[in-house]
C-alpha cells in the first residue's frame, strides 16, 4: 500500500500559561530469604569449580556470572572490595566476574554478614544494597561464549556445531589481569587445539586484548566452549570486494544522469568548493561560487566539498551505484568558504562569511537546507557560552526559516602513554563520552541540526594484513563510529540530535595502531578528480551530516509550505537508534544513547507518510509568550484494546531568539506534556496563570494522568528539538477516555516583544505493533473536529 498522508493535529485551546551512581535503585528484599537463596547459588558455583579437573591440560578459573536487577547498578570499586574483578557487563546487566581467590573469601564473608541480618545498632542488614541488587549467581555457560556473528547464522548452542566440519574462529580470552597468565592460557589452548588435529594461525596478546585464530573441527569448538578462561568464540570479520569494485567503475557502467525536476527543492553546501563538472553532479548544479570572492574560483581543490555534495544530493551513493543509476531529486548549490589550506579567509569574520553565503542562496534561489560539514577541533564544548559561529547560524536559521545541518566533529582518541594501543578497541565506546570527545563548534548551536556518525560497515578488505587475528573493525555495523563526538550541548541540550552513517575505523595489532583509510569501512562518494576515478572514500561526521541534509531537503518536496521547525520535528519523529548502538551504549548509563546518537537515524519514508498502524499528526503554528496550546489526540478503541506495544511519540521544534552575550542563551523556552483522563477544562486550570489570591490547583505532573514519556522533561527540555516516547505494553486498567491532550507551553526568558510570537511545530506519532488500522479511525475523528472548528468560526 502506498504511504498515507499525515494528518493535521486539532487544536482546541489557547491560554496564558506558566547522573546515576552507586547502587542505582536496589529492590526491597528480605535478607532472611534472599540471603540463603544467593548462598545456595554461590555454594553451587564453588562446588562445581572445586570438582573441575584440568580440561586437556587447561587449568580452570573461577569466573562468575551475576545477573543484576534491571534497576540496579554496582560500581567496579564495590566488586573489587569484595575480591572480584569485573570482566564484562552487557545491556541486560549480566556481569562476568573473576576471582583469583578460589574460596571467594571477601565476597563470601560479606554474604554471611548480610544473611545474619542487622546488628542492634543498624536498621538494615550489612551490604544489603549489594546483595539486594543481585538477582542470580551462576556460571558462564558454554552457550554464553558463542559470538554474535555465529548467533546471526543460527548457531546458538554448542550442539549446533557440526562435529566433523572445519571452522575458522576467533577465540577471545578474558583479561585476567596478568599478561603472563594470559600468555599461559594462549599456550595451553594452542597445545590442546594442535593435539586435536586443529591449527592456530595467529595470536595477539595486548595489554587487555587476548585473541587466537584457529581452524578446527566442530567437536573441538564444542570443547573450547567449556573452557572458563575463554570469553567468546566467533567467526572472523569477513572481507568484501564491493567497495574496491565501486572505485573501479567507469562512466560507461551507468545510465545518463537526468536533470532534476524543475520544482525540486534546493540544497546548498558550504565547504571546500565543488567539482561542478563531475558527470553525476553537473545536471543538478545550479550555481557554485566562492564567498568571499577573494578565494578565487569555486573549484574544489581538496575533494572534501565534492564528497559532501554527492551525499547531500543523492543520500545513499552506494545504493545508486548498486542500481547503476543516478537520478537527482534536488538542485545543488555550492559556496566555497575555505582557502587552499582548508582554512577560513583571514580577511573576513566567520559571521560575515556565513551570513553572506546563506542569505545569498536563500534569497536568490529559495534554498531552505544548508550543509556545513565544518568544525573547529580546537573548540570542544566544555560548558559556558557557545561561539559566535554557532550563534550566527542559530540567528540565520530563525531569521530565514531555514535548516542548517552541522556535523558533530571527529574525535581522534589518544590512549596516552599509560595505555596500550589496543585501547582503541577495548575502551570503545567509553572514550566517546569523555570530555575531550564533546561536540565542537559550531555543532553547539541550539537551532542548528547536529549530526553524529554510525558505522555502516564492519567489513574488512582482503589481503595479508587483514588476515591477522588482531585486525579488527572497532565498531560493528549500526554502532557509533569510533570518531563521533558526543553531547550534551548548552544547558544540557540533547546533542547531536540525529545520527547517520559516516564510516568506521579498524585496529591493526600488527602495527599497534588504528587504520582510518580502509575503503570497506568508509563512505563512498564522488572524487573531485573524476577524470582519473569517479568515486573515492573517506570517513567522518562530515559525511553523516549531508545524508541527513538530503532527507531534510527531500521533505520540502513533500511539504513545500512547511516551516523549518516542522521539517526538524518530522526528522526527529521518524528517527530510531539502531539496535547495535543501543546494545553497546545502554550499559554505559541512562544518558549515553542520547549523548552519542541523539534521537537516532532519520527515515525518509516515515518522515513523509503515515501507515495504517503508524499515524502521524502535526501542527505548524506560533504561540505568544507565556501562553499554551492544547491539542486533541484521538485514541481509537483499537489502539487501547488490541494486544501489543502502543507508542505515542511527541516531537516539538522551535527556533527561539538567541544572544551570544548572555549565559541564558535562549530567549524563550518551550515544552510539552501529554495528559490523559482529564477534561480540557481541568487541563486549562492546571496550566493557566493564576493570580496571587487564587488557590492552588492540581498541576497533573507526576501522576497517572501525566503520560511519562522518555526521555523525561529534565533531559529533553534543554534543547529546541525535543522528542519523547510514551509506551504502553499492557492495556491500562483505568479508562482514560478516547482523547488524550497535548499541551505545548511557551515561557518567556529575556526575549523582547518584537520577537513574538514564537514559531513552533509539533508532531505526534501513534504506533501499534499489531496489524491494526488506526489511520481511518483517527482520520474520521480529526475530520469531524476540524469541521466543527470551521463551523464555529463561520
**What would the pLDDT profile of 611-640 be if each residue is shown by its tens digit?**
999 999 999 999 999 999 999 999 999 999
The pLDDT tens digits of the residues spanning 94-107 come to 888 888 888 899 99
**CA of 36: how far to CAs of 64, 636, 721, in Å?**
18, 50, 50
Distance from the Cα of residue 579 to its chain's centroid: 9
The pLDDT tens digits of the residues spanning 522-555 come to 999 999 999 999 999 999 999 999 999 999 999 9
Please name every residue paired with 525 in a beta bridge, in sequence order, or none if there are none.
536
**Is 266:366 a contact under the CB 8 Å cutoff?**
yes
Sign of CA dihedral 658, 662, 665, 668: negative
SS (H, E, C) 132-168: HCEEEEEECCHHHHECHHHHHCCCCCHHHCCCCCEEE
**Is 499:450 a contact under the CB 8 Å cutoff?**
no
Ordered DSSP codes for 99-114: ES-TT-HHHHHHHHHH
Grouping H, G, I as helix, E, B as strand and the rest as coil, residue 481 is coil
Distance from the Cα of residue 11 to its chain's centroid: 32
**C-alpha gyration radius of the chain:** 29
- Taking residue 401's Cβ as centre, other Cβ atoms within 10 Å add up to 15
Distance CA 338, CA 350 (A): 11
Candidates 83, 89, 88; CA nearest to 42 is 83
Q: 69-83, 250-264, 687-701: which has the highest mean pLDDT?
A: 250-264
SS (H, E, C) 369-383: EEEECCCEEEEECCC
Distance CA 47, CA 37 (A): 16
Distance CA 496, CA 444 (A): 9
Cell numbers that stand for 414 in this block? 589518544
Please name every residue paired with 499 in a beta bridge, in sequence order, or none if there are none.
452
Cell 595486548 maps to which residue?
206
Cell numbers that stand for 381 in this block? 564544548
The pLDDT of residue 21 is above 50 = no
The pLDDT of residue 72 is above 50 = yes
Please name every residue paired with 410 in a beta bridge, in sequence order, or none if there are none.
484
Distance CA 718, CA 656 (A): 12
Distance CA 131, CA 110 (A): 9
**Residue 588 — very low, low, confident or very high, per pLDDT cuts 50/70/90?**
very high
pTM listed for this prediction: 0.82
CA trace torsion 634, 640, 646, 651 (10° rounding):
20
Candidates 510, 492, 397; CA nearest to 717 is 492
Greater confidence (686 vs 149) lies with 686
DSSP code of residue 226: T
pLDDT at position 739 is 94
The pLDDT of residue 675 is above 50 = yes
The pLDDT of residue 349 is above 80 = no
CA angle 691, 694, 695 (to 5 degrees): 135
pLDDT at position 792 is 61
Candidates 368, 773, 770, 761; CA nearest to 573 is 761
Give phi and psi for 609, each to the nearest 5: -135, 160
**Is 550:403 a contact under the CB 8 Å cutoff?**
no
Average pLDDT over residues 369-376: 94
The pLDDT tens digits of the residues spanning 391-431 come to 899 999 999 999 999 999 999 999 988 888 889 998 999 99
Sign of CA dihedral 253, 255, 256, 258: negative
Distance CA 397, CA 384 (A): 22
Report the run of H or E that residue 674 belongs to, with start and end. Answer: strand 668-675
Distance CA 657, CA 753 (A): 11
pLDDT at position 240 is 42
Cell 583571514 maps to which residue?
346
Ordered DSSP codes for 669-725: EEEEEEE-SS-HHHHHHHHS---TTSPP----TTSTTB---BS-HHHHTTSSEEEEE
Average pLDDT over residues 23-41: 86
The pLDDT tens digits of the residues spanning 459-511 come to 888 765 666 788 899 999 999 999 999 999 999 999 999 999 999 999 998 88
Candidates 182, 154, 298, 319; CA nearest to 246 is 319
CA angle 615, 620, 624 (to 5 degrees): 135
Burial annotation 79-96 (CB, 10 A radius, 16+ → b, else e) = beebbbbbbbbeeebbbb
pLDDT at position 18 is 46
**Residue 208 — very low, low, confident or very high, per pLDDT cuts 50/70/90?**
low
- How is the beta sheet containing 199-205 ordered, strand by strand? 199-205, 210-217, 166-173, 230-234
CA angle 69, 74, 80 (to 5 degrees): 135
Distance CA 658, CA 749 (A): 11
CA angle 487, 491, 496 (to 5 degrees): 25
Where would I find the beta strands (DSSP E) of 442-554? Answer: 449-454, 471-473, 498-501, 506-508, 513-515, 523-526, 535-538
Amino acid at each position: 500500500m502506498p504511504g498515507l498522508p499525515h494528518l493535521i493535529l486539532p487544536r482546541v485551546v489557547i491560554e496564558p500559561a506558566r547522573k546515576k551512581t552507586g547502587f542505582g535503585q536496589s529492590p526491597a528484599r528480605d535478607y532472611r530469604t534472599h540471603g540463603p537463596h544467593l548462598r545456595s547459588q554461590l555454594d553451587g558455583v564453588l562446588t562445581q569449580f572445586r570438582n573441575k579437573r584440568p580440561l586437556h591440560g587447561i587449568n580452570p578459573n573461577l569466573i562468575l556470572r551475576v545477573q543484576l536487577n534491571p534497576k540496579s547498578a554496582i560500581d567496579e570499586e564495590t566488586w573489587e572490595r569484595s575480591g572480584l574483578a569485573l570482566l564484562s557487563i552487557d545491556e541486560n546487566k549480566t556481569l562476568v566476574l573473576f576471582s583469583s581467590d578460589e574460596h571467594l573469601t571477601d565476597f563470601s564473608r560479606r554474604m554471611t554478614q548480610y544473611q545474619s541480618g542487622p546488628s542492634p545498632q543498624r536498621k538494615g542488614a550489612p551490604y544489603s544494597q549489594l546483595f539486594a541488587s543481585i538477582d542470580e549467581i551462576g556460571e558462564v555457560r558454554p552457550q554464553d561464549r558463542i559470538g554474535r556473528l555465529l548467533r546471526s547464522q543460527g548457531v546458538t548452542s554448542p550442539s549446533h556445531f557440526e562435529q566433523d566440519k572445519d571452522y575458522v574462529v576467533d577465540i577471545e580470552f578474558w583479561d585476567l589481569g596478568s599478561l603472563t597468565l594470559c600468555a599461559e592460557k594462549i599456550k595451553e589452548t594452542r597445545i590442546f587445539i594442535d593435539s586435536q588435529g586443529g591449527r592456530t594461525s595467529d595470536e595477539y596478546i595486548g595489554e587487555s586484548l587476548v585473541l587466537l585464530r584457529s581452524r578446527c573441527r566442530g567437536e573441538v569448538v564444542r570443547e573450547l566452549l567449556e573452557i572458563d578462561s575463554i570469553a567468546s568464540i566467533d567467526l572472523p570479520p569477513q572481507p568484501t570486494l564491493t567497495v574496491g569494485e565501486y572505485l573501479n567503475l567507469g562512466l560507461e557502467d551507468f545510465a545518463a544522469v537526468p536533470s532534476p525536476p524543475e520544482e525540486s527543492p534546493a540544497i546548498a553546501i558550504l565547504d571546500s568548493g565543488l567539482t561542478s563538472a563531475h558527470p553525476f553532479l553537473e545536471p543538478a548544479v545550479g550555481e557554485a561560487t566562492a564567498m568571499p570572492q577573494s578565494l578565487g574560483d569555486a573549484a574544489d581543490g581538496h575533494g572534501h566539498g565534492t564528497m559532501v555534495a554527492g551525499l547531500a544530493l543523492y543520500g545513499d551513493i552506494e545504493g545508486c551505484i548498486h542500481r547503476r543509476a543516478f537520478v537527482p531529486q534536488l538542485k545543488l548549490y555550492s559556496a566555497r568558504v575555505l582557502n587552499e589550506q582548508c582554512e577560513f579567509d583571514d580577511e573576513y569574520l566567520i559571521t560575515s562569511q556565513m551570513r553572506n553565503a546563506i542569505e545569498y542562496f536563500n534569497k536568490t534561489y529559495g534554498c531552505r537546507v544548508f550543509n556545513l560539514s565544518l568544525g573547529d577541533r580546537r573548540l570542544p564544548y566544555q560548558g559556558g557560552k557557545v561561539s559566535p559561529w554557532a550563534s550566527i547560524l542559530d540567528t540565520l536559521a530563525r531569521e530565514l526559516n531555514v535548516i542548517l545541518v552541522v556535523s558533530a566533529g571527529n574525535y581522534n582518541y589518544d590512549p596516552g602513554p599509560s595505555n596500550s594501543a589496543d585501547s582503541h578497541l577495548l575502551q570503545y565506546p567509553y572514550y566517546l563520552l569523555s570530555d575531550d570527545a564533546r561536540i565542537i563548534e559550531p555543532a553547539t548551536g541550539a537551532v542548528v541540526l547536529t549530526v553524529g556518525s554510525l558505522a555502516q560497515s564492519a567489513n574488512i578488505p582482503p589481503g595479508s594484513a587483514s588476515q591477522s587475528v588482531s585486525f579488527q573493525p572497532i565498531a560493528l555495523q549500526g554502532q557509533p563510529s569510533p570518531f563521533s563526538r558526543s553531547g550534551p550541548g548548552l544547558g544540557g541540550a540533547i546533542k547531536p540530535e540525529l545520527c547517520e552513517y559516516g564510516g568506521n575505523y579498524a585496529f591493526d595489532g600488527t602495527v599497534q595502531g588504528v587504520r582510518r583509510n580502509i575503503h570497506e569501512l568508509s563512505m563512498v562518494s564522488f572524487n573531485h578528480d573524476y577524470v582519473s576515478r569517479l568515486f573515492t572514500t573517506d570517513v567522518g561526521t562530515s559525511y553523516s551530516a549531508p545524508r541527513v541534509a538530503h532527507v531534510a531537503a527531500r521533505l520540502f518536496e513533500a511539504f513545500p509550505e512547511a516551516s523549518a521547525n516542522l521539517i526538524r520535528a518530522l526528522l526527529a519523529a521518524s528517527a530510531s537508534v539502531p539496535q547495535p548502538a543501543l546494545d553497546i551504549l545502554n550499559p554505559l548509563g541512562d544518558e549515553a544513547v542520547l549523548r552519542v546518537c541523539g534521537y537516532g537515524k532519520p527515515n525518509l519514508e516515515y518522515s513523509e507518510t503515515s501507515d495504517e498502524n503508524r499515524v502521524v499528526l502535526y501542527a505548524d503554528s506560533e504561540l505568544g509568550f507565556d501562553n499554551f496550546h492544547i491539542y486533541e489526540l484521538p485514541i481509537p478503541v483499537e489502539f487501547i484494546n488490541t494486544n501489543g506495544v502502543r507508542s505515542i511519540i511527541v516531537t516539538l521544534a522551535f527556533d527561539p531568539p538567541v544572544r551570544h552575550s548572555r549565559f541564558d542563551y535562549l530567549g524563550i523556552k518551550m515544552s510539552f506534556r501529554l495528559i490523559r483522563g482529564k477534561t480540557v477544562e481541568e487541563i486549562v486550570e492546571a496550566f493557566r496563570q493564576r493570580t496571587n489570591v487564587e488557590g492552588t490547583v492540581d498541576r497533573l505532573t507526576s501522576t497517572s494522568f501525566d503520560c511519562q514519556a522518555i526521555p523525561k522533561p529534565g533531559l529533553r527540555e534543554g534543547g529546541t528539538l525535543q522528542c519523547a516516547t510514551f509506551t504502553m505494553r499492557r492495556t491500562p486498567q483505568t479508562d482514560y477516555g478516547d482523547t488524550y491532550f497535548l499541551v505545548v507551553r511557551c515561557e518567556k526568558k529575556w526575549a523582547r516583544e518584537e520577537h513574538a510570537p514564537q514559531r513552533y511545530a509539533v508532531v505526534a506519532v501513534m504506533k501499534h505493533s499489531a496489524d491494526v488500522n488506526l489511520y481511518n479511525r483517527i482520520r474520521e475523528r480529526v475530520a469531524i473536529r476540524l469541521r466543527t472548528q470551521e463551523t464555529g468560526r463561520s
